[in-house]
Amino acid sequence: MEKFEEISQTEALSKYKHYKHAAHAMLAADDPGTTFGCKRNAVIMMQMRFDGCIGFVGGLIDPEDDNPVDGLNRECVEEIALDLDKVKFEKENFLLCHIVHDYKLVLHFYGKKIPLKLFYEIEKRAVLEAEEWGNETLGLIRVPLSLFEQGDINKRFKAFLKHNFAGNAKRQLLTGMKMINVVPEDVYNKLLQGVDI
Ligand code: GTP
Ligand code: MN
Ligand code: MN
Ligand code: MN
Ligand code: MN
Ligand code: MN
């Protein structure tokens, strides 16, 4: 089993230049709606990948990319036809970096919150326009973040976490959603009850 170690991005980019680098990202939005009486709280975009695993949009940084964030934006155009005039990842959106020595791989992770209306537009455009739709990207998924008021309150989120995830995408999800305050802290704590990070 591969081991993901957290590393600073500066160290990863200087000391491990010879490794492969990939960058993935979380797009999230507040969602005021309810599902069967439960507040949805927020939406987070993930994808069903070509390999059957759930992951974030993004991919390997190519030689033509000047830096990880440029590579990330290019992959977002390929995988979901992201309109960079409307939503573009910036260096400031960096969240976490992990290294896997066994695979000589560095994984950069970014994230940001956007208005819900824009989130919906991105989803629709992906289906209609993305060059990788049906190939690398088999579908966009919204992470279920609603809670029951009693009983097994985080049943929906725990069921979601039982899927297979690419790389350390599950860890990126749990850590990233806290870092960019996808949901209020009390909701986050309830969602994570009984879940190991
Ligand atoms: P091509 O466009 O065919 O070059 O693929 P890609 O560049 O889109 O690469 P991909 O998204 O598959 O990512 C490359 C590497 O990152 C693979 O080793 C994956 O296992 C890993 N990976 C994929 N998705 C995620 C993710 O969401 N999080 C993390 N941490 N790793 C991921
Ligand atoms: Mn129905
Ligand atoms: Mn790709
Ligand atoms: Mn990819
Ligand atoms: Mn690629
Ligand atoms: Mn590709």
Residue 53 Cα: closest atom of ligand 1: 24
Mean of pLDDT over the chain: 97
Inside any domain, residue 155: yes
Q: Is 68 in the pocket of ligand 1 (CB under 6 A)?
A: no
Q: Which ligand is nearest to the CA of 106?
A: 1
The pLDDT tens digits for 96-148 are 999 999 999 999 999 999 999 999 999 999 999 999 999 999 999 999 999 99
pLDDT at 1 (0 to 100): 64
What local confidence, expressed as pLDDT, does residue 108 receive?
98
- The answer, yes or no, to whether any atom of ligand 1 lies below 6 A from the CB of 166, is yes
CA separation for the pair 180, 31 (Å, rounded): 15
CATH code of the domain in which 161 resides: 3.90.79.10
The pLDDT of residue 97: 98
Going from the Cα of 135 to the center of ligand 1, the distance in angstroms, rounded, reads 14
Report if residue 120 sits inside a domain.
yes
The pairing of strands 54-55 and 38-49 is antiparallel
The pLDDT score that the predictor gives to residue 89 is 98
> Which pLDDT score, from 0 to 100, does residue 137 have?
98
CA distance 28 to 166: 19
Please give the residue range of the domain that contains residue 31: 5-190
pLDDT in tens, 139-165: 999 999 999 999 999 999 999 999 999
Is there a domain that residue 44 lies in? yes
Specify the number of domains making up the chain. 1
**pLDDT of res. 94:** 98
The residues near 133 (Cβ < 8 Å, ≥ 6 apart) are 80, 81, 126, 127
Q: Is the CB of 59 under 6 A from ligand 1?
A: yes
Q: Which of 46, 49, 60, 96 is the pocket-test mutation for ligand 1 (most atoms within 8 Å of CB)?
A: 60
79 forms bridges with which residues in the sheet? none
DSSP 133: B
Is 195 within a domain? no
Q: Does residue 196 lie within any of the structural domains?
A: no
| pLDDT given at position 33 | 97
Contact 158, 65 (CB under 8 A): no
CB 119 within 8 A of CB 141: no
pLDDT on residue 2: 73
Q: Whose CA is nearest to atom 31 of ligand 1?
A: 167
Q: Does 179 map to a domain? A: yes
Q: How far is the CA of 75 from the centre of ligand 5 (A)?
A: 6
The residue-averaged pLDDT of 44-56 equals 98
Above 0.90 for ipTM, yes or no? yes
Tell me if 27 is assigned to some domain: yes
* Distance from the alpha carbon of residue 7 to the mean position of ligand 1, in angstroms: 18
The percentage of residues in the chain with a pLDDT greater than 90, rounded to a whole number, is: 98
Within 10 angstroms of residue 167's Cβ, the number of other Cβ atoms is 20
